[in-house]
Structure 1
Amino acid sequence: THIISDGWASYANIANLGGCTYTHKVIVHEDHFVDPNDNGIHTQNIENLWMRLKRKLWWQFGTSDELFSSYLHEFLWRNSTPKEKIFVYFLAAISEVYNVE
């Protein structure tokens, strides 16, 4: 897993979470918003994604701790699936979980 965070001190040991090894890049917004050596490393995309997720969860579901994980998975799946073929991708996802013959 690759994690990109801002320079907040609480994120300093994020690479050692849960006994796993994560790649961790830090962007200090006081210095720059995008890494000058790699313009793909910044926090704006995830901040935008998180804002849209919170808005959707509040609008559609409210907040349920028990169901949060499933709401998050659905949101991320919908976000990464082409809208014009979402039904085809949905059927493919079902066939990966259930043996459909």
Structure 2
Amino acid sequence: MKCFMVEVPNRTRETLEPLEERYILPGTHIISDGWPAYTHLSQLGGGVYLHDVVHERHFVDPEDPDVHTQNKENMWMHAKRKIQRQFGTSRELFPTYMFEFMWRNKFRQSRSCFGHFLVSVADTYNFN
């Protein structure tokens, strides 16, 4: 499962909509809870997303077990635990904690995490 996280000042539709369009590829199947700011997802970008809602009383849709929010909830639980384990977390550095978590999640199965780190740095700073 691909993961991305973005710090947001609030969870209103006005805040989330531009971020959803920026970070979520057209054609993505989005599964969310019943938060009101998500009700528009299937209309975003002229209807380029498939959106299913798992109602608040179910973590898994009883009619379709492939529709659930467990992956999202699990990912956020792991991110919070990692950030809480860091001593002296800083508000200014919070976005970097999320970036580190996403990067480690992306390469967690790799044997050469350091190699991926070097390639990422080279790509970022155009050291080709």
Do Structure 1 and Structure 2 share a fold, with TM-score over 0.5? yes
The Cα RMSD (Å) is 2.8
1:95 aligns with 2:122: yes
Partner of 1:66: 92
Uncovered stretches (5+) of structure 1, i.e. residues with no partner = none
**Residues 3-42 of structure 1: pairs in structure 2 closer than 5 A:** 3-13=30-40, 15=41, 21=45, 23=49, 24-28=51-55, 30=57, 33-34=60-61, 36-37=63-64, 39=66, 41-42=67-68
Which range moved further: 85-94 or 4-13? Answer: 4-13
Moved over 6 A (4+): none
Uncovered stretches (5+) of structure 2, i.e. residues with no partner = 1-23
Aligned pairs, number: 96
Q: CA deviation at 1:63?
A: 4.3
From the two aligned structures, give the one with the greater helix fraction.
1
Q: CA deviation at 1:29?
A: 5.1
TM-score, normalising length: structure 1 = 0.71
Larger relative contact order (C-alpha < 8 A, sep ≥ 6)? 2
Identity score, percent: 41
TM-score, normalising length: structure 2 = 0.59
Task: Tell me: CA distance 1:95–1:58, structure 2 relative to 1, closer, same or farther (3 Å).
Answer: same
